[in-house]
Amino acid sequence: MKKYLVLGILFLLPITAYMFFASGINNFATLPVLTTSVSELDGFKTLDGKPVQLKNHITILGFFGSDLEKHRAYAYNLAHKIYKKNREFNEFQFVILLPEGTQEQASGIEDKLKQIAETDRWLFAFGSDENIRNVFNSLKSNIELDENLSSPYVFIIDRDGNLRGRDDDEDEGTMYGFDSSTIAEINNKMSDDVKVLLAEYRRALKKYNADSDI
């Protein structure tokens, strides 16, 4: 009996220790700030003609350009792997910046996205070419827009308008954005990083509520 007890402890102890430390990493990690003060979305309007802003939101920011059909599959990837799982977090939103004149294309894609999840927190926002470039350049990333003002990369912006990402990624070193054309990158790296940022804000909210009760 003692023999089986010892074997059981030797088997379970490493697994328990691993789960404890893995949980600790998830609970206490923070996502690095790579760029501060990303430009606010002044002058952009949604399909409903409403203004949109980064401040006080956790935003997944994308630039899909004038040819949305090219990015349709990327939108579905993001909707399934990131948006659907996190849209109920109060301050979470997707914002896809598009040039004026692409409203009809965006409306068509939105109708398809509604089959995956309600699109109340997925916003297509329209503005001038200049405004789109200004916002993109303010990210100060190593990524470029193409001639259609588009990129498959999406970016995580925190409530204070700072770009969050990885500064020690095992593959790329500094990782400013996530390639939405790559399921593995979205499903693994981006999903993990969004989870870390949301956990960071949940901890801050819990601490605020605890301090308020004192």
Find the CATH number of the domain harbouring 112. Answer: 3.40.30.10
Alpha helical stretches, state H, the chain:
2-28, 72-78, 84-86, 103-113, 129-138, 183-184, 191-213
In a domain, 14, yes or no: no
pLDDT for the residue numbered 26 = 40
Residue 107 pLDDT > 80:
yes
| pLDDT exceeds cutoff 90 at 11 | no
Which of 87, 65, 84, 64 minimizes the C-alpha distance to 74?
64
Q: How many domains does the chain have?
A: 1
Is position 27 within any domain? no
Q: Would 24 be classed as within a structural domain?
A: no
Reported pTM: 0.84
How far apart are alpha carbons 110 and 30 in whole angstroms? 32
Joined together, the tokens standing for residue 103 give: 């409203």
Mean pLDDT across the chain? 87
Statement: residue 212 has pLDDT above 60: no
pLDDT, one tens digit per residue, over 111-149 is 999 999 999 999 999 999 999 999 999 999 999 999 999
C-beta of residue 163 within 8 angstroms of C-beta of residue 176: yes
Is residue 111, in this structure, part of any structural domain at all?
Answer: yes
Which secondary-structure segment (H or E) carries 180? none
Residue 29 is predicted with a pLDDT of: 76
pLDDT at residue 184, as a whole number: 94
Let me know if residue 15 belongs to a domain: no
Q: Would residue 1 count as lying in a domain?
A: no
Helix (H, G, I), strand (E, B) or coil at 96: strand
- SS3 call for 177: coil
Within a domain: 121: yes
Task: Report pLDDT for 205.
Answer: 67
Domain that holds residue 90: 32-205
Residue 84 is assigned to a structural domain of this protein:
yes
Contacts of 91 (CB under 8 A, 6+ apart): 56, 57, 58, 159, 201
